[in-house]
Structure 1
Amino acid sequence: MLRWAPYPFVRITLSFIAGIALYFLLGGQLGHGLGLLVFCFASFLAIAILALKYKSPSATDAAGILGLLTFMALGYTTVYQRTELNQPRHIAHLTTAPTHYQGVVQDYVLQKPGYQSTVLQVEQVKVNGTWQQATGKVQLSVPHDSERAYELSYGDVLLVRGAPQPVAASLNPSQFDYRAYLANKNIHHRHYLQPQQYRKIASQPSNPILYYSIQLRRQLDDLLRERVGEKREYAISSALILGVKDELDNSIRQAYADTGTMHVLAVSGLHVGLIFSVLMLVLSRFTATARQRWLGAILVLAALWGYAFVTGLSPSVLRAVLMFSLVTVGMALQRRTVIYNTIAFAALVLLYGNPYNLFDIGFQLSFLAVLGIVYLQPGFYSVLKLRNRALDLLWVSFTVSVAAQLITSPLGLYYFHQFPVYFWLANLLVVPAATAVLYTGMAALAFSWVPGLGWLLFKVHFWLIWGMNEFNLWVQRWPQSILTGIDISVGQTWLLYLLLLALILFAALKRLRYLSIAVGLVAILSVQEIWEEVQQRQQRQLIVYSLRGSTGIGLVQGQQAMVIADSTLLRNPQNFTFNVQPHLWQLGVQQPQLTSLAGSNSAPTVLLPDSNQLLVWQGQRWFILSHPPKLQPKSGFKVDFLLLRKNVRLRPGQLQQYTFGKLILDGSNAPWYRQRLRQQLDTLGIAYHDVADSGAFVLEL
């Protein structure tokens, strides 16, 4: 029987999370929820007083339930208060677009190829010639074409000409929902700026501590760039020590992802835990008196928060530092704290500060990984008793890796659609190597001013990173190193976690009913997979994907697909991976056939004398115009769709020569061309679909 008494903060945090979920389930229909919060709290006080007075067990139980309902109402109210769209002055509520706006840079500045990105907190907008107070966040993108390392800095006050645009929805099926991702950060607008479109007018950092933290991180990053040397190794060093991942090469990033060791590059709980383990040796020497214990705790806390300061006070580090700080304080108090209460209290504090953390992938994975290590790892470790210290350390590393991977696997499958097969082996070597990289890197930064010693430490640091990179690239090349194309729904993710919970309860309590539940869940998942397989074998779709500057046409029959792509898409695998591949995985297509639009024997297209093409597939006839048509269509020539690409020059009258059902504008057309042509099509009354505005065109056959 599960006893809840020792876990008060677990109950409270779960109730708070339920309140957050209730807000999104109801869509905020209860308003700010203050009335509900006051009612629950008043009822709790009344019942608690009665329980104390009459010593009634039923009244005590009722008071406990009302107390949890109060935290649930608090969760609901907190989301409402932290949702900036609920503020009446939010820029989303403006009826007239502003001509100018002013705000403060409130986030880190991220380096991207050719531009830099950050977040501006709006303070004022100019509407109809009048300045007025406003609020809201805008994701800014500014060109990076000067010799300066950063075009903008945290705290810069900017005057911007123009109006920010609402974040567009995903334009392709199953594509990553970037609008929802930004909405969870209270960002609902974007603005791509030109150099002459904004001006820095002042510097007013709202948080001086964060400002100086970012400045220090930039200085240390510059030092690593100078002393580590090679770009690949510098990028790993900066990511692992400081959390700066701007310079990470896509190939090396993919290698770490494919081997299941990407977590070592995200400064988070692992890194803080490694530092904490060393600090525990310091704390263990201060145990004789209460004064010594508190002195040791203060030293540990100073080191933990100092590391957080060096890494720019990133949310992932703050999560871990808060958790280990609570553990440190508990040790200083010499209280037998329950680790689950510590984890739950840390989650409660972070969720109260920002309830949208609940939907942050890093937040979910980090807390689940900690829970897996705390609960599952001791059981795995007890399977083997090794007397050799080196082998025992390897076994500890192995069991920690397995526990964390097991508990986070359902989320990993849902978000990333892949599973690294050799994660257990890769982590055996990469985690100790990353530990050495972290320690040598921090030592190199600390003693960089010492002649000889600083040079030696940076050399050791460099070769450790080089070896770690080469090992990951080697494992990545192993056969079946990663299983990709796994597509599961939210419901299936929950079923997998229920299955995992049932198996854990069966192993812990040795009761057959939990095994029966696990078998039932496996049966449900199996039926779902079989039904999905049957549906996929019968599907036929023709899709024109929305690809900026490119053409991509998908022909799906059963679980096989061909993607007809132009040279621009074929040269840019990332464009395909981000925009097209998730949809094909959802349809059960593992390896689509990529073929060139320019001409291929396998493509169902016919090249016409004027270099245009006719696509005939599954009874569908598509006329693809890439060049001005020079052939007069024969009488009775009819196609189902007319696809225009590459800004093909056409007179409006030429379109009336063809008989077709609908005209399609694909992503290879420029914005100015699409805008002009849409006006002509509206005048002529021709039905059309613009994939750049309306999303991918999906034809079910």
Structure 2
Amino acid sequence: MRGYPFFRHTIALLAGIFFAERSPQLIWWPVGIGLLSAVAYGFFIWKHERRPIRPLSLAQGLLLLLIFAALGSGLHYASNPTRHADHIGHAPQPPDAYEAVVTNLPEGRAKTYKVELQIRRGRIGGSYQAMSGRVMAYLAKGDSLKPTPLPHYGDVWLVLRPPLPADPPLNPAEFDYRRHLAHRGITHQQYILPWQRRVLGNDPPNPLTALAYRVNAWADSLFTRRIGTRAEYGIVNAMLLGVRDDLDQRQYDAYAAAGAVHILSVSGLHVGILFVIMTWFIRRVAPKQANRWWVVLLKISVLWFFALMTGFSSPILRSALMFTFLLTAGVANRSLSLLNTLAASAFLILCYDPNAAFSQGFQLSYLAVLGIGAWVPDVMQRYRNKNKLTTKLWELTVVALMAQLFTFPLAIYYFHTFPTYFLLANPVVMGLSTVLVPLALVTFTLGWIPYLGDGLGWLLRGVAWALNQSVEWLADWPGAVWDGLWLSEAGLVLLYLILGAVGMVALTRQRFFVHTTAVLALLLTALTVFEIAQQDRQRRLTVHFMPRKTAVSLTLGHQTTVLTDADWQTDPRQYNFNLKNTFGEWGVRRVAVGNLMTDTVAVLPTYWHNPDMSLVVWQGRSLLLINRLSNYRRWQLPALIDYVLVRRNALRSWDQLANRLVARQYIFDDSNEPVRTDSLLAQAGRRGIACHSIRQMGQFRAEW
């Protein structure tokens, strides 16, 4: 790796960032080690300063890697907004009002606008004081009679309601939205009604970003006029401007099933398409001018103008920076390897924003480009054909295969699915995208011209229609998606080590890497067998968090029974967001559902059931679900109940259960009002009653 210094340094920087993320309490350890390494490295430099040829030293190289690792930890610590004394998290109490500025391009949802707010000052005890922090706010759109105007970047708001800390995940393996926000410097979230905020003015924090958002808004209005149809406009808007507001769920699911969901976001792929198209055009028009400084400057200008048009989207900035390095090296007559250039762009991005390392887009895009750069040239040399059409199809297939090969373990780890027909879909998607991206850019540039703009819009709409139709056709094929796949962190690491070892076998043909591949494969097999054996023996009763609903699962081996009042057939999003990953992590292959709004007898033996409550005995454990308590009904359970689940505000006072019920554990799910639950928990603490609040403590799980 001598020829790839940035690659080594970037890996060390990443190691320091991940260490600081996992062990923030040990931040002074890497700082101290970094300082000692810097002193030792300086000693090596001083010792060999006068030698004309300085010897290579393994110790010196390791010290340099430790310095960069310490730098990564330090940058991660410095990027944490909570370290500031005036951060909202350090306030003695939440501010009852605060002044903040909108720092992003607002996203339109079905009923809200999603905006990020940077706090400037907050009101505590009747007086305003300087305060920092960021809030993810959801502003209600209002109604048809009085709709809320679309917010703008730089709007200064006075919010008349305190923000709340972001909620942690309350179910196993649920998407950690709080951590996702924290990696963007956001610690609080809030739902705001229109009358709970006032717009004080407009003061953009960054004039260049404000310009980018104005260009983005103008492009959006242009595409709206020229394209017209929502499905085609939505796909162009998502690909070119990064706005998914007009994409419906059916469209998104179709692209996910075809393995082309990456096309729905502005990314390095689009920058690469522009780069290839510009290079091809210049070689045809001016073949001898390709490396002249004015041509390079023109290419860089187009790439950064595209970045401006997308609102300076992070993936576009990454790719524009990487291609800028490549173009600058070419005009300077210096050859840069793709691996080193890729690492250099990642290094600069991580120095500016260490939390980019935790972005799924950052990880997947760099792995995809790494796979394409490392393997596509070698594979392409193995097949040459005089037919240009078959050669182009082969090139697109190889690019798709290498990108998928390097990203599929991470995609399974994050999304738990794998598209079956990606090899068929990606050449079609790549081919049509190669036409759509430059055509959209030309439409943006010339679309204001009468008649010409109409013609360009018609062409753009046709290409977008063809892209939608081809993807939806492939997504309807049987078995288009492998769903329910699960990969642990250890399995993810082993899988990437196997891919690396296989790559080294192909490059070096050394027997050592063949043996290494075999050992790693055996370890992955052993890990998989161990995980499946653990799942075969699992037996657990779980009360899950479900917003304003009840969800109880009884899991035995690889099957589970869920008792719930949520209607997943009409609204599957609740199941997909709250429980699907939980059952995937547990290896559950069969889910049976019992509707608590009808009866429980159809799913499990119910020893006592009436409109007020249901008593279920499962695997030697008893569970009583209380729906309501009527004063005129007199009842008493003769035996000790293991778990009592209180639903729908059935319990107002613990005196209602006096001389009626003896239980080991009382559980309150999210179908109860928080105020009433808090009051009952306070009373239970004084009476010595064991209680568990799903809203406060997360899911309740009993295993035996």
TM-score normalised to structure 2 length: 0.93
Residues 155 and 32 of structure 1: is their aligned pair in 2 closer, same or farther, counting only changes over 3 Å? farther
**CA 1:245–1:149: 2 relative to 1, 3 Å:** farther
Secondary structure (helix, strand or coil) at the match of 1:54 reads: coil
Deviates more, 1:243-252 or 1:635-644: 635-644
Contact 2:12 2:66 in 1 (8 A): yes
- State the alpha-carbon separation in 1 of the partners of residues 583 and 358 from structure 2: 25
Measure, in 1, the Cα distance between the counterparts of 2:564 and 2:637: 31
Q: Structure 2 CA distance, aligned partners of 1:437 and 1:444?
A: 10
In structure 1, C-alpha distance between the alignment counterparts of 2:225 and 2:629, rounded to whole Å: 54
Residue in 2 aligned with 1:670? Answer: 673
The one-letter amino acid paired with 1:624 is: L
The answer to whether residue 90 in structure 2 is matched with residue 87 in structure 1 is no
Report whether the alignment pairs 1:467 with 2:466.
yes
Partner of 1:201 in structure 2? 200
Higher mean C-alpha displacement, 491-500 vs 546-555? 546-555
CA distance in structure 1 between the partners assigned to 2:288 and 2:330 by the alignment: 13
**Which SS does the other structure have where 1:272 is aligned?**
helix
Aligned to 1:265: 264
Aligned partners of 2:335 and 2:685: how far apart in 1? 73
For 1:332-389, what per-residue CA distance to the aligned partner results, in whole angstroms no more than 9, with x for missing partners? 1121221211111100110000011111111111111000000111233233222210
Question: How far, CA to CA, are the matches of 1:259 and 1:287 in structure 2?
Answer: 38
SS of residue matched to 2:153? coil
Q: Structure 2 matches for 1:482-521, cutoff 5 A?
A: 482-521=481-520
Cα pair distance change 1:390/1:286, threshold 3 Å? closer
Change (3 A) 1:339 1:619: same
TM score, norm. by length of structure 1: 0.94
Deviations 1:5-39 (A, max 9, x none): 32222222223223323433542534497666555
Post-superposition Cα deviations, 1:192-250, rounded to whole Å, max 9, x if no partner, equal 22222222212211111111211221222233234323322221121011111123211
What SS class does the counterpart of residue 20 from structure 1 fall into? helix
Q: What's the CA shift for 1:295?
A: 0.6
Report matched runs for 1:629-640 at 5 Å: 629=630, 631-634=633-636, 636=638, 638-640=640-642
Would the alpha carbon gap of residues 128 and 36 (structure 1) be closer, same or farther in structure 2, given more than 3 Å must change?
farther
Most deviating of 562-571 and 486-495: 562-571
Aligned residues of 1:286 and 1:296 also touching (Cα < 8 A): no
Q: Residue in 1 aligned with 2:604?
A: 604
Which residue of structure 2 lines up, in the alignment, with residue 647 of structure 1? 649
In structure 2, do the counterparts of structure 1 residues 647 and 513 end up closer, same or farther at CA, with 3 Å as the change threshold?
A: same
Match of 1:192 in 2: 191
Aligned to 2:702: 699
| Counterpart selection for 2:116 from 105, 114, 119 | 119
Q: Specify whether residues 379 and 486 from structure 1 end up closer, same or farther in structure 2 by C-alpha distance, changes over 3 A only.
A: same
Shift of 1:70: 2.9
- 1:68-117 per-residue CA deviation (whole Å, 9 max, x = no partner) reads 33333322222222221222222222223323222222222122221112
Question: In 1, Cα distance between the equivalents of 2:242 and 2:570?
Answer: 30
Is 1:479 aligned with 2:481?
Answer: no
Per-residue deviation, 1:617 = 1.9
Correspondence for 1:658 among 639, 658, 661: 661
CA distance in 2, matches of 1:647, 1:234: 47
Corresponding residue for 1:179?
Answer: 178
Q: Is the 8 A contact 1:286 1:293 kept in 2?
A: no
CA drift of 1:510 comes to 0.3
Does the 8 Å contact 2:212/2:311 carry over to 1?
Answer: yes
RMSD of aligned Cα (Å): 2.5
| SS across alignment from 1:523 | helix
Change (3 A) 1:382 1:463: same
Q: How does 1:564-575 map to 2 (within 5 A)?
A: 564-575=563-574
| 1:288–1:454 CA distance, 2 compared to 1 (3 A) | closer
8 A Cα contact 2:183 2:355, kept in partner? yes
Q: Secondary structure at the match of 1:168?
A: coil
Q: How many residues align?
A: 697
Map of 2:450 onto structure 1 = 451
Whether the 8 Å CA contact 2:87–2:131 is kept in 1: the answer is yes
Tell me by how many angstroms 1:560 deviates: 1.0
Say if 1:609 and 1:61 are closer, same or farther in 2 by CA, change over 3 A: closer
Q: Structure 2 counterpart of 1:430, which letter?
A: V
Residue 64 of structure 2 aligns with an amino acid whose one-letter code is G
Question: How far apart in 1 are the matches of 2:465 and 2:356?
Answer: 35
Higher mean C-alpha deviation, range 53-62 or range 543-552: 53-62
Q: Look up the equivalent residue of 1:550 and give its one-letter code.
A: K
Partner Cα separation in structure 2 for residue 27 and residue 339 of structure 1: 34
Task: Measure the CA separation in 1 of the matches of 2:525 and 2:309.
Answer: 49
CA distance in 2, matches of 1:476, 1:59: 55
Deviation at 1:668, TM superposition (A): 2.2
Where 2:99 maps in the other structure, the secondary structure is strand
CA distance in 2, matches of 1:15, 1:9: 10
Q: CA deviation at 1:135?
A: 1.8
Shift in Å, 1:652 = 4.1
In the other structure, the counterpart of 2:615 is 614
AA of the residue aligned to 2:86: R
- Partners of 1:430 and 1:649 in 2: how far apart? 57
Match of 1:581 in 2: 580
Question: How far apart, CA to CA, are the structure 2 residues paired with 1:97 and 1:451?
Answer: 55
Is 1:624 matched with 2:621?
no
Q: Paired residue for 1:130?
A: 127
Q: CA deviation at 1:522?
A: 0.9
Report deviation, 1:650: 4.9
The C-alpha deviation readout for 1:143-165, integer Å capped at 9, x for no partner, is: 11266685422112222233322
Structure 2 residue 65 is matched with structure 1 residue 68: yes
Q: How does 1:89-104 map to 2 (within 5 A)?
A: 89-104=86-101
Q: How does 1:104-503 map to 2 (within 5 A)?
A: 104-145=101-142, 151-281=150-280, 283-284=282-283, 293-503=292-502
Contact 2:148 2:194 in 1 (8 A): no
| Deviation larger for 58-67 or 662-671 | 58-67
1:104–1:158 Cα contact (<8 Å) kept = yes
Structure 2: give runs of 5+ residues left out of the alignment. Answer: none
How much has 1:132 moved relative to structure 2?
2.4
CA distance in 1, matches of 2:265, 2:690: 49
Which residue number in structure 1 is paired with residue 5 of structure 2? 8
CA distance in 1, matches of 2:216, 2:147: 16
Whole-Å Cα distance in 2 between the matches of residues 677 and 175 of structure 1?
28
CA contact (8 A) 1:622 1:643 kept: yes
Q: Tell me the distance in 1 between the aligned counterparts of 2:679 and 2:215.
A: 50
CA-to-partner distance for each residue in 1:570-590, whole Å, 9 max, x for gaps?
432111011101111111113
